[in-house]
Chains A and B, each alone.
Chain A
């Protein structure tokens, strides 16, 4: 009979960060669940929250800060699953610049990703009491970093944002060694926020058929993730095959898969409530003009219903 259609909007370009979904598609896990899944890659200027609000997707991958922010702006997103148990976002500095700890930040130039990724950074700076205007010696100069590592290599910034599974690897590729670098992991600094989760619109969840589709989708996706964790080389190859730009190299995707696996390892797909609380508290602790993510405690921003149903039978 006809397969049920699901459109998934990713938050970024095709890479091993989303290996689980590509694997599930490639290995027929979706088909097994009678799903016809379309995976739409994202890009630097595609906000998945906007796409789902316009009806361009059924389910999206996004970071929780952005998801909650969208919820406050009238796009009622609900987290239905959280394949990433921890996050990979970090600030990477060159030792040769003399940055060893957060005390060294004042007077420095720090590269930050915006487009909804800036929330954890501002929360951290608020916690450290560091001014982000860059005007005086007590503050830092913030640089809107493109999604690459050039500012560090070209000496334009002292620290830049990296993902453990991508940009960090690129810095290593460029010839720097781990010893020459200092990493500040947001989770360890206590301002971590949940990264790639699956979100849908609240009103859609009222529809029984939709919930059923999502249960099957989440189940198959998690199966994909676990397969990817166990077969990183093959998973990387699947990702490369799905990349339309032809720019990805297998080497880099294998590296990325290895690192991503560390983030998904602990997760069975269901959201950890404590992690959710930390995310919300961090966000609420640092509300400012630059950081308007959320201004009040969100209600009903997540549910275990889907994962419970999806994973109940299996585990």
Chain B
């Protein structure tokens, strides 16, 4: 019980520190912007540790962060192997294929209005589907190795990417388009000089949504058959072995990979769409 009280105290302390930082003189600085969420995260971890210890939660239900960290450090080799299998081979290749394919189809659809009008509602519909459900089918079709994971990812990212890109290509002001007409510009010139740059914010929105979808897709697919490595494989196997510390270490890997992936795309976005109001400082 004492430890649980300590957890509450920790929460109060963390919050007070953040309140001081966020409202204090340093509020605008990059350091504060970084420190506040870090303190918040550290507070949560600390509370987790204290509560697990305080209530003596069994290891097989929820391990403490310190135990997870230990496992993480001890099994980096395995974790890396799983990361390569699930993230680099499955998610990333599927992500690349899916996004490029959707982008190409979007450009074709944009060229032929009939196709766009037909494809967009269908694409919108598909984007709302629980496509995770296709995982067992695709594993049956494409085998158990990373190809089937990539296939699931392709299907998952394709439609959000398509819908966003098509919307982006259409997101030019009438005036901007008229301007090109006053120059007597060709279709290709309008596409390259106006529509593609104007579509970039939407394209990147699609790319960002797709990052999380890619990770989910690759991991889900591993539940339906996989080689004996991979994040999803390790998680399900470790649960079966009651090695919950390993499970959480894998979850940490996935969250870390996902955050970095998202962050990388967001960083590229910032450079490419520097001109968009939401990115101007």
Contacts and interface: CB of A to CB of B under 8 A. Distances in A.
Query: Quick check: do A and B touch in the complex, using CB within 8 A?
Result: yes
B121 interface: no
Interface string B227-261: 11000010011011111000000000000000000
Contact of B60 (A45, A53, A114): A53
A143 B58 contact: no
A73, A114, A116, A142 — most chain B CB neighbours (10 Å) = A114
Given A70-B242, A151-B225, A143 B60 contact: no
Given A144-B144, A146-B139, A150-B140, A116 B241 contact: yes
Measured as residues with beta carbon below 8 angstroms from the partner, the interface class of chain A is 20 to 34
Nearest to B139: A146
A50 B227 contact: no
Nearest to A150: B140
B236 A115 contact: yes
Contacts of B225: 143-146, 150-151
Contacts of B243: 73, 292
B226 A75 contact: no
B59 A114 contact: no
Interface in A114-158: 114-118, 132, 134, 141-146, 150-151, 154, 156-157
Contacts of B14: none
Interface of B: 58-61, 136, 139-141, 143-144, 222-228, 233, 236-237, 239-243
Given A47-B239, A154-B141, 19 more contacts: A44-B223, A47-B242, A50-B239, A50-B242, A53-B58, A70-B60, A73-B243, A114-B236, A115-B239, A116-B241, A143-B225, A144-B222, A144-B227, A146-B136, A150-B139, A151-B144, A154-B140, A292-B241, A292-B243
Interface of A: 44-45, 47, 49-50, 53-54, 66, 69-70, 73-75, 114-118, 132, 134, 141-146, 150-151, 154, 156-157, 290, 292-293
24 contacts: A49-B242, A53-B58, A53-B61, A54-B58, A70-B60, A73-B242, A74-B59, A75-B242, A114-B237, A115-B236, A115-B239, A116-B240, A116-B241, A118-B237, A143-B227, A143-B228, A144-B226, A144-B228, A144-B237, A146-B223, A146-B224, A150-B139, A157-B144, A293-B241
6 closest A-B pairs by beta carbon, nearest first, are A115-B240, A116-B240, A114-B237, A146-B225, A144-B226, A146-B224
